[in-house]
Structure 1
């Protein structure tokens, strides 16, 4: 087993590592650090989030910084503000005992003047999000013509968020002789394209199979009707009293709805979505990181850059359309050598999609029975007993009250006293789950069907004016033709986000979405047909006018 003190790192970095309590490098660090200390070749590293990538590239870069130079020598790009701040914080810790290494962090949504002042004072390493980084380059406030390292961290996430054009522009303005380091959890075609276009014979380092899930994660799924999904979610939470996890939803409105229901039902939960201001988002994140919240309900977009190491569960309230999204979600648990569980709530018609995800993750998913009320009460009872055993008694504070309490309870026998204290919590769950129905779907029953609003069951009938119209799950959908497609950076999640942006206070049901190279189709509840046409008629995306019209029958 290799140790950090055997990796030719400087005394200053060794001192910083020891102060942080690090002894043994993670697999990605063990492979990457020696390579970057010895080679100037480009590198593509495949590793899941949370495997120690920042130290993998940060330690060798810090060691090789020329402190006599005042211009930026390393540029590190990350998909989100949170991740950029985290990387900058880690690099600051790593360089604690190294002299004259300054680190600047730049991101959107913050005062650009302060960031410019920070750059003008001199920064050896700049960490930033693609949009703000490119903005500063165009303003000639961030000069990247002399950088020696360009790091693309979570490159696949940056691409899925629509930063391809920004990355292309930044890469095109950087010097050819730099060392480019690309870190990604998956290897989609776009990553291969960047490697082929901007990198020279890159060394590939991998600590797992391409596009597969993390090794320490178990994958469970529950088969329920769509209408019972929230009930199943609550039972999974109740079966795991110490749950600390993220619940992923498809849309912003669904995120709000699930979080509101959980809070109304007394759960320690909150939501993270695009309607929150940065201050509100920071507040929710601070509560979640400090474990004052047990469950965080979020969309994929809102949760980007969120890095928490101790998650016990990731719950997929919906199975994502893209298997690679599932890989990213499930990779948020089972970190730092700990075990994690990824739970997915599905209905019968999603079984085929689940098999596709299984193939991508390269792991079998375990079908679990939704727990009964009796199972939950038993689990909660023994959890309560464990808490009572481990509770720390504050003798000084409680002592004045004890004489009255002893007198009040003196008539109770020991066994009776224990029963009564335990029953305070136990009776609550016993009453709630009394006569609780079995919500598991029995696949063996003939004709077992499940309909979920917003998902395709069969081809639509021809509606008014010859347009495509479909009815499903109580909803009638209108189908729209959209003039932007994959070449414009559009994907399914982008379309969902655009709809949510134009209907911030409405819970609009979204149907099937198809994204082509040059155009797209999407379905929306027919009641919002006129509003969709009106709100999108003058809207723009990345400065480009968005053309939209009702789609004709296919």
Structure 2
């Protein structure tokens, strides 16, 4: 049972225009006073829909909305209002994936309740003193905000009692599952009362999140802020195609074309993160790395510098950046695409917040063009293909920005006046044009040297698969061969293989290549970018009662390939027996 079939839905367009002020959403005077103190007057679409729903308290909820749309206030305000200050037990629990998000939610909830005497909220997270958190629990907070790992540890030690819980919020549920918290969530939810209200919030709705919703929510209502998996509306999506060896040089040019850049560069691995950040720093860019090998103190130092804009760029892995909550980023740069393409939505959603525009950039090689099409289909957003700028264009942009800074510079500080007379005396004798040339030469020596003989970095793309008059050569697509332990004697057929991939992966756009049906086993090829998903999806699955075993098979000898798109629903009728049974498992990031 997926949420698609059980959740009545409400979208932005259905929000009642008469409830566009916080005062009209049913919040009490103490909370509206706190909101006004914070400078907020008009609720966001997700707040307009969620706040009355939670205040009513009759049904569970699945809320699909991007980070930065106001989810914390959407669930935090009504939870605070529902608190009974005379009851000395935990009444509401909020689970979040990271320490930083946990602390941010707790701070926000406390700020909402600033006019409510006797209200207490507590943050529980790893990397901090357990004794201090246990002491905080003894002071009977009404709301606890926690990361799953530390909370479960305290539960097993008998330090946390959730038996009287009224409300549970799962914030960024897809991220918690991506970080491998599935088993922890299951254990935590098992220790809560069955009659509580549960509110699940997620930016995307993959199969695992739908399974959590089906298993632990009762007749939930679904509220969607924007189309599913769509990403932020104010983000412009751009990609550049280069040879893999030119990826870093392309990154430099992209950054140099945006002198006021303030953003995150996403890499796949810790090693790559360190290498890219070190190169940027050596080349004179204001950048630092954020990855899992840093101590908590080092991580906090980098994040604090970035929030204060003492750093223009942070180079990070997906996991390391999850707690980095900054609202006014101008750019997100995907140095490499994530292994799970749905994670692109989380990355790009970090810019274009609070009504501001942003740009999400992807640097790809020619073999990855099809991934851009997959993301377009997933998000409903179109990408703009741009050429990597040449050296002349970069220099012109940098010079134009320098001139703009001079023209818009503030008046000279009075403290400079004593020094101005000798400066003017020395420079007045110089020719105006010569003075400008010398000034430009001093300011742009590095840039001019870098780009004087800059090569063309652009790589020709493979043909666009959407252009039917210019069909792509799928033989160049990287494929992974899989071997499964069912063959002709199990009455399996190529359409049945397609049906299994379709059902178990939960996707309709995976490209499948050659299928070979042998007597006792079968071989099939899948777009390599889905290798991890296929291995995970087939785990614990069955075909006609036979437990499936899947493994990566050796590469086939070169041969022409036939590529099938597994979109066809008709293929399912050829499958013998249900190919189901894949449960929720922890993911390793």
TM exceeding 0.5: yes
**How far apart are residue 433 of structure 1 and its match?**
0.7
Q: In 2 relative to 1, CA 459–200 (structure 1 residues): closer, same or farther, beyond 3 Å?
A: closer
Partner in structure 2 of residue 140 of structure 1: 158
Q: SS where residue 298 of structure 2 aligns?
A: helix
The 5-angstrom pairing of residues 384-533 of structure 1 reads: 384-393=402-411, 395-414=413-432, 416-443=434-461, 515-516=535-536, 517=539
- The structure 2 residue matched to 1:194, chosen from 187, 212, 217, is 212
Partner in structure 2 of residue 180 of structure 1: 198
Q: In 2 relative to 1, CA 371–111 (structure 1 residues): closer, same or farther, beyond 3 Å?
A: same
Q: Decide whether the 8 Å contact of 2:366 with 2:460 is kept in 1.
A: no
| Distance of 1:521 and 1:375 partners within structure 2 | 49
**How far apart are residue 5 of structure 1 and its match?**
2.4
**How far apart are residue 343 of structure 1 and its match?**
0.5
| Distance of 1:190 and 1:178 partners within structure 2 | 22
| Distance of 1:175 and 1:29 partners within structure 2 | 26
Q: SS where residue 59 of structure 2 aligns?
A: coil
| Distance of 2:276 and 2:552 partners within structure 1 | 24
The answer on 1:286 being equivalent to 2:304 is: yes
| Distance of 1:385 and 1:375 partners within structure 2 | 15
The answer on 1:76 being equivalent to 2:94 is: yes
**How far apart are residue 25 of structure 1 and its match?**
0.9
* CA deviation string 1:184-225 (max 9, x = no partner): 000111111111111111111001112222211111000100
Q: Decide whether the 8 Å contact of 2:172 with 2:203 is kept in 1.
A: yes
Partner in structure 2 of residue 171 of structure 1: 189
| Distance of 2:175 and 2:143 partners within structure 1 | 22
**How far apart are residue 395 of structure 1 and its match?**
2.5
The answer on 1:15 being equivalent to 2:47 is: no
| Distance of 1:214 and 1:522 partners within structure 2 | 37
The answer on 1:45 being equivalent to 2:63 is: yes
- The structure 2 residue matched to 1:327, chosen from 332, 345, 348, is 345
| Distance of 1:12 and 1:392 partners within structure 2 | 43
| Distance of 1:79 and 1:125 partners within structure 2 | 17
The CA RMSD over aligned residues, in Å, is: 2.7
The answer on 1:95 being equivalent to 2:113 is: yes
Q: SS where residue 288 of structure 1 aligns?
A: helix
Partner in structure 2 of residue 212 of structure 1: 230
Q: SS where residue 307 of structure 1 aligns?
A: coil
| Distance of 2:369 and 2:29 partners within structure 1 | 55
Partner in structure 1 of residue 393 of structure 2: 375
TM-score (norm 1): 0.81
* CA deviation string 1:338-360 (max 9, x = no partner): 11111101111111222111111
Q: Decide whether the 8 Å contact of 2:291 with 2:317 is kept in 1.
A: yes
**How far apart are residue 147 of structure 1 and its match?**
1.3
Q: SS where residue 105 of structure 1 aligns?
A: strand
Q: Decide whether the 8 Å contact of 2:480 with 2:552 is kept in 1.
A: no
**How far apart are residue 168 of structure 1 and its match?**
0.7
The answer on 1:221 being equivalent to 2:239 is: yes
Partner in structure 2 of residue 505 of structure 1: none
The 5-angstrom pairing of residues 288-303 of structure 1 reads: 288-303=306-321
Give ranges in structure 2 of 5+ residues lacking alignment. Answer: 1-16, 464-471, 483-503, 505-529, 541-548, 554-585
Partner in structure 1 of residue 285 of structure 2: 267
The answer on 1:340 being equivalent to 2:358 is: yes
Q: Decide whether the 8 Å contact of 1:515 with 1:521 is kept in 2.
A: yes
Partner in structure 2 of residue 65 of structure 1: 83
Give ranges in structure 1 of 5+ residues lacking alignment. Answer: 461-485, 487-510, 524-543, 547-554
**How far apart are residue 390 of structure 1 and its match?**
2.9
| Distance of 2:239 and 2:338 partners within structure 1 | 13
Q: SS where residue 342 of structure 2 aligns?
A: helix
**How far apart are residue 416 of structure 1 and its match?**
4.7
Q: Decide whether the 8 Å contact of 1:456 with 1:512 is kept in 2.
A: no
- The structure 2 residue matched to 1:158, chosen from 171, 176, 179, is 176
Q: SS where residue 336 of structure 1 aligns?
A: coil
Higher mean C-alpha displacement, 382-391 vs 243-252 = 382-391
- The structure 2 residue matched to 1:110, chosen from 97, 115, 128, is 128
* CA deviation string 1:157-183 (max 9, x = no partner): 001111011111111111111110100
**How far apart are residue 68 of structure 1 and its match?**
0.9
| Distance of 1:327 and 1:443 partners within structure 2 | 23
- The structure 2 residue matched to 1:352, chosen from 353, 370, 374, is 370
**How far apart are residue 44 of structure 1 and its match?**
0.5
Q: SS where residue 122 of structure 2 aligns?
A: strand
Q: SS where residue 144 of structure 2 aligns?
A: strand
Q: Decide whether the 8 Å contact of 1:116 with 1:141 is kept in 2.
A: yes
Q: Decide whether the 8 Å contact of 2:367 with 2:478 is kept in 1.
A: no
| Distance of 1:76 and 1:39 partners within structure 2 | 16
* CA deviation string 1:102-122 (max 9, x = no partner): 011001111101100011011
| Distance of 2:443 and 2:550 partners within structure 1 | 53
**How far apart are residue 458 of structure 1 and its match?**
8.2
Q: In 2 relative to 1, CA 520–244 (structure 1 residues): closer, same or farther, beyond 3 Å?
A: farther
Partner in structure 2 of residue 312 of structure 1: 330
**How far apart are residue 414 of structure 1 and its match?**
4.8
- The structure 2 residue matched to 1:56, chosen from 63, 74, 84, is 74
**How far apart are residue 413 of structure 1 and its match?**
4.7
| Distance of 1:126 and 1:96 partners within structure 2 | 16
**How far apart are residue 76 of structure 1 and its match?**
0.3
Q: In 2 relative to 1, CA 326–402 (structure 1 residues): closer, same or farther, beyond 3 Å?
A: same
| Distance of 1:16 and 1:182 partners within structure 2 | 25
Q: Decide whether the 8 Å contact of 2:369 with 2:461 is kept in 1.
A: no
| Distance of 2:550 and 2:227 partners within structure 1 | 32
Q: Decide whether the 8 Å contact of 1:317 with 1:345 is kept in 2.
A: yes
TM-score (norm 2): 0.76
